[in-house]
Amino acid sequence: MAKKTGTPTYEQLINATIKRLVLTITLTISLVILVMVGVQQTVSTMHESRDLMNSLHQANIKDVPSFIHWNNSTTRNTQQAAFIRVTTNKATITTTTKSKRTILTTPSSKAFFAKNQTKLVGPLVYVRGFGFFVTYSEKDGQNTYQLWVSLKRLISSFFLLIVLTVVLTLITLGFGTWWAHRLAARLSAPTIDLLHETKYTSNNPDADQPTLKIPASPREINDLGQAFNELLVAQNQRLQHERQFISDASHELRTPIAAIRGNLSLIRRRGDAHPEIIPESLNFIDEESLRMQHLIENLLHLSRADRAKLELTDQDLSFLLLQLGEHYQPSIDQPVKLAIDPDIHVPGNAEMLQQIVVALLDNAHKYSPHDQPITLSLTQTANSVRLAVADFGEGIPDDQKQAVFQRFYRVDQSRSQEIEGSGLGLAIVKQLVTLNQAQIEVTNNQPQGSIFTIIWSKPTKP
């Protein structure tokens, strides 16, 4: 079997699915952590900034000494660098939280306030050379309080968290890929083993196929293997039946052909010297050719029955059997007794039903003494309809009752040449009975003989 390029294998599909799952879970968890930490840090920074602003507002700073007093006495919780400017009617004072001591109008604050500030969103501004800040401004009478809290530390922490998350994602993805490969290989191993078994089995489709070695787990693969084995058993049986059918058909056809060729050779060799043998040989050729014609017709009937699909309609089986019994009686010397209950209907095909009954009557006629009757009966019970053909012939041994429905099977091989027939009649009957959704069985008649019974089961009422 040629390997299809471009078609992913079962292992590759599992591997890709697991890798996508691991990557999705890792990215989702990382994104959630980033958002939660980012929000928490942002809220904390905002809260610290608001606390510092409220402290400024409550201090009621009016001049430099009061600003120095507030700056020395206030505990600043913010971990971010901040710039503070207080404007009163007397002075403008600035300081920064980056130093523990009081710095008024420091070089850094002068440089900071000298820069242009770009307002972004809400309280967020950008100061060139200093970065991003959150700014607050409040006015209380003659005083104006302004606060700029740097987000540099927050952004650095956030960036570090992103780097750690990316590294963790790559590590997890690498480990997940390795784990997915191992898991995919383990999960796909039973399927691959079953595939190899199937390929080995299908190397010679004309030979009997051995059953597959089925993995014990997983259950789905085990069930699939069981189904394959059941299919192989059915295929082997079909191959055996076909070989037997071809062998039997060849044997049955070989006999009349050999007889015809033998008589033709006899006519060529001795026809001129002994013309009296010509009519006898021609009669024999005619009989054998007729026998071969019947055999071929039966083979065609059997082939059609194997492939037939038909719709069943309601049939008045009682009326059909009465007609068949009356028309069949003049063609045989045995008396035909009819025991047919009236008004019995079954689903079926009228032509096939006639063929079934005639074949069973022919079989009873061939194997019954000329002075013994053949009984054709039809009865009905609450659960079934039973059509039976009974004779008083030699009967069928119990170990051969099922074999009589096989193709070319003859019960008494020593008498197979004495009693005309191809051995296909009952095989055709069984196939036609199956197509009419019925069953056929053979039992012993008393004191001797056989009874062939066709049974239609009635659906049980709920």
271-294 residue pLDDT tens: 888 888 888 888 888 877 877 787
What is the CATH number assigned to the segment(s) 204-307?
1.10.287.130
Chain position carrying tokens 């993995």: 215
Amino acid 455: pLDDT: 94
Confidence of residue 203 (pLDDT cuts 50, 70, 90): low
The domain 310-457 having CATH identifier 3.40.50.1970: the answer here is no
CB-count burial class (<10 Å; 0-12, 13-18, 19+) for 86: buried
CA 34 to chain centre: 43
Strand partners, 314: 347
Domain ranges of the chain: 11-157, 204-307, 310-457
Q: Give pLDDT tens digits for 406-434.
A: 777 766 544 444 556 566 778 878 888 88
Cis check: omega of the bond before 347, within 30 degrees of 0: no
Q: Residue 6 pLDDT more than 50?
A: yes
Whose CA is closest to 342, among 376, 361, 317, 374? 317
Task: Tell me the pLDDT of the chain averaged across its residues.
Answer: 77
Amino acid 37: pLDDT: 79
Q: Residue 312 pLDDT more than 80?
A: yes
pLDDT (mean) for 157-174? 81
Q: How far apart are CA 222 and CA 214, in angstroms?
A: 6
Q: Residue 103 pLDDT more than 50?
A: no
Strand partners, 384: 457
Q: Residue 244 pLDDT more than 80?
A: no
Amino acid 414: pLDDT: 45
Output phi, psi for 424, to 5 deg.
Answer: -105, -10
> SS3 letters for 194-217?
HHHHHHHHCCCCCCCCCCCCCCCC
Interstrand relation of 336-340 and 374-380 (parallel, antiparallel or unpaired): parallel
Stated as kind and residue range, the H or E segment containing 364 is: helix 350-367
Output phi, psi for 326, to 5 deg.
Answer: -65, -40
Q: How far apart are CA 435 and CA 355, in angstroms?
A: 13
Q: Residue 81 pLDDT more than 90?
A: no
CA angle in degrees (0–180, nearest 5) for 451-455-456: 165
- Euclidean distance between the first and final Cα of the chain, in Å? 52
Stated as kind and residue range, the H or E segment containing 119 is: strand 117-119
Q: What is the CA radius of gyration of the chain?
A: 51
pLDDT (mean) for 360-386? 90
pLDDT (mean) for 148-173? 81
Chain position carrying tokens 């056929």: 440
Between 91 and 150, the more confident residue is 150
Amino acid 321: pLDDT: 93
Confidence of residue 64 (pLDDT cuts 50, 70, 90): low
Confidence of residue 114 (pLDDT cuts 50, 70, 90): confident
Q: Pick the range with the lowest mean pLDDT from 22-26, 338-342, 359-363, 367-371.
A: 22-26
CA distances (Å), 170 to each of 86, 163, 166, 180, 435, in order? 49, 11, 6, 15, 66
Q: Residue 115 pLDDT more than 50?
A: yes
Task: Return the number of other C-beta atoms located less than 10 Å from residue 384's C-beta.
Answer: 13
Q: Reduced to 3 states, what is the DSSP secondary structure of residue 133?
A: strand
Confidence of residue 99 (pLDDT cuts 50, 70, 90): very low
Amino acid 63: pLDDT: 62
pTM over the 0.75 mark: no
DSSP alpha helices (H): ranges in 211-339? 219-270, 277-307, 317-328
Ranges 23-37, 258-272, 300-314, 327-341, most confident: 327-341
Between 155 and 194, the more confident residue is 155
Amino acid 298: pLDDT: 67
CA angle in degrees (0–180, nearest 5) for 421-427-430: 135
Amino acid 452: pLDDT: 94
Q: Residue 364 pLDDT more than 80?
A: yes
Percent of the chain clearing pLDDT 90 (strictly above): 11
Amino acid 1: pLDDT: 43
Q: How far apart are CA 70 and CA 60, in angstroms?
A: 9
Percent of the chain clearing pLDDT 70 (strictly above): 74
Amino acid 61: pLDDT: 65
pLDDT (mean) for 29-52? 78
